[in-house]
A and B are shown apart, each in its own frame.
Chain A
Amino acid sequence: MSRIANSVLVGAALMLAGCGSGGQAATASGTVTGDVTVFAAASLTETFTRLGEDFEEANPGTKVRFNFGGSSALAQQLDQGAPADVFASAAPANMKQVTDTRTITDAPRTFARNKLAIVVPKGNPGGISRLADFADAGRKIALCAEQVPCGAASQKVFELAKVTPAPDTLEQDVKAVLTKVSLGEVDGALVYRTDVRAAGDKVEGIEFAESAQAVNDYPIAPLAKAPNAVAAKAFVDFVLSGEGRAVLSAAGFDHP
């Protein structure tokens, strides 16, 4: 409940911010200026924060604001009219949620690919080495809830590997899963390869073969009612540019 209330508050704050910037961008049509509000998947937290800084530097007078979260929650907020300029989802399914309602009219473009990896706390206390270990009820396992993209991808790899996992918790986004691992509360989890890299040396990653068959495409698109349409388009172009690609691949994303 309180979480929902929080997102409503965030929405209201964004609305105010959006109103302020909208006028500013209109006066200087053509040049990129003002606030850009980007709703992005939780797994993009580090890369997009970096890209936002680079974008602000390349376009003085702009300010990029982010709302990171589970792609499904973000899509839901956008469908309910949350004022944003750009949506970057961790899966085409959640992008479809917003294109179906015509909240996004431009054709979304795939800008990155990601695959899952096993993640264990430093030192691997649970001795996990392969997907089959996730079926052991004696080990503490965290997975993403099936509603969010990482959960859907996890389900797919378990089906491919013919493993029935025995999770202890189904988290609401990939970063929540990662937190449980880095605190050592679970023995193992499935997150994106990029999340393993972002968590640094608090965790260890283990690649597995089935992950190649459950690759997540990340689509991005400007919103139909973007308060700052010019900057929205510029930000999308920036993510798709060579510069954006370099930041993404440094973080472990594959290029489509």
Chain B
Amino acid sequence: MTRNRVRGRLPVVLVLPAVIGLAFLLVPLAGLLIRTPWASLSTSLSAEVGEALRLSLICASLATVLCLFLGIPLAWLLARSGLPGRGFLRALVTVPLVLPPVVGGVALLLVLGRRGLIGEHLDAWFGISLPFTTAGVVVAEAFVAMPFLVISVEGALRAADPRYEEAAATLGASRWLTFRRVTLPSVLPGVVAGAVLCWARALGEFGATITFAGNFPGETTTMPLAVYLALETDPDAAIVLSIVLLLVSVGVLAGLRDRWISGPT
């Protein structure tokens, strides 16, 4: 309703770059669609593609769950705790965003690999070895995707009105109860938006995955890895794989949007 009031002529300085920006994002996707060998689409979809797609969806979803479990408390710590050095911590949390994913993969190997700082003990004490396993894919994806969730949730927490929490506290609620019943519901849109970003980033993850988890069909070959290897010998197959991944992710995101992210914002 209020939006109508600020309507007027659209300023060219905003519209022109907006249109160029939209084209910049959409034209490469159009190129992919135009070059897709639609006629042979169904024949190029082998069982391996289904396997890679299934693996991608499962790993991205598990990585998102892992990020929610660890990321929401971390965001709360950064936004609410009054911890000294929070600004520095916040900067550190975003490091995986700027780190080239391959470097992230190497870092994970050095810590969680069979001879890594922690991985060495995991292997010796529990016989757990993460590289070259599906669990390794989830770890690599979560490492790269978690900052998206943390930043999004932290932003929502800082924007939320603390008076509701204070009110809950004066009514005798413990901090944990306040968090569950007041804080979390009030930042839910931020959590969902962060989870969607996190899921999308995990689904497209390539560098950290191939470096840390390797590449083996049915075990660690997710769609981006399959696309990359297909590109080397059979570009048409790579395009088909990309289209499948694109359609599935757009489908999921559109479905989520209708259900969760619509509303006043």
Which residues of A come within 8 Å of B, CB atoms? 1-4, 70, 72-73, 75-76, 140, 142, 145, 147-148, 167-172, 176, 180, 183-186
What are the residues of chain B within 8 A of A170 when measuring CB–CB? Answer: 214-217
How many angstroms from the CA of A169 to the CA of B209 in the assembled complex? Answer: 12
A-B contact count (CB 8 A): 78
Which residues of B come within 8 Å of A, CB atoms? 101-102, 109-110, 113-115, 129, 131-132, 204, 206-207, 210-211, 213-217, 219-220, 224, 227-229, 231-233, 235
How many angstroms from the CA of A183 to the CA of B114 in the assembled complex? Answer: 9
On whether A169 and B215 interact (CB within 8 A), knowing A73-B232, A76-B235, A147-B232, the answer reads yes
By the criterion CB–CB under 8 Å, are B206 and A3 in contact? yes
What are the residues of chain A within 8 A of B235 when measuring CB–CB? Answer: 76
* Nearest chain B CB to A245 CB, angstrom units: 30
| One of B114, B220, B224, B233 near A185 (C-beta < 8 A) | B114
| One of A4, A169, A184 near B216 (C-beta < 8 A) | A169
What are the residues of chain B within 8 A of A73 when measuring CB–CB? Answer: 231-232
On whether A72 and B233 interact (CB within 8 A), knowing A2-B207, A169-B220, A183-B115, the answer reads yes
* Nearest chain B CB to A23 CB, angstrom units: 30
By the criterion CB–CB under 8 Å, are A148 and B228 in contact? no
By the criterion CB–CB under 8 Å, are A168 and B216 in contact? yes
How many angstroms from the CA of A116 to the CA of B129 in the assembled complex? Answer: 28
By the criterion CB–CB under 8 Å, are B206 and A2 in contact? yes
On whether A184 and B114 interact (CB within 8 A), knowing A1-B227, A140-B132, the answer reads yes
Q: Which residue of A lies closest to B132 (CB)?
A: A168
How many angstroms from the CA of A184 to the CA of B119 in the assembled complex? Answer: 12
Q: Which residue of A lies closest to B110 (CB)?
A: A183
| One of A2, A72, A148, A169 near B214 (C-beta < 8 A) | A169
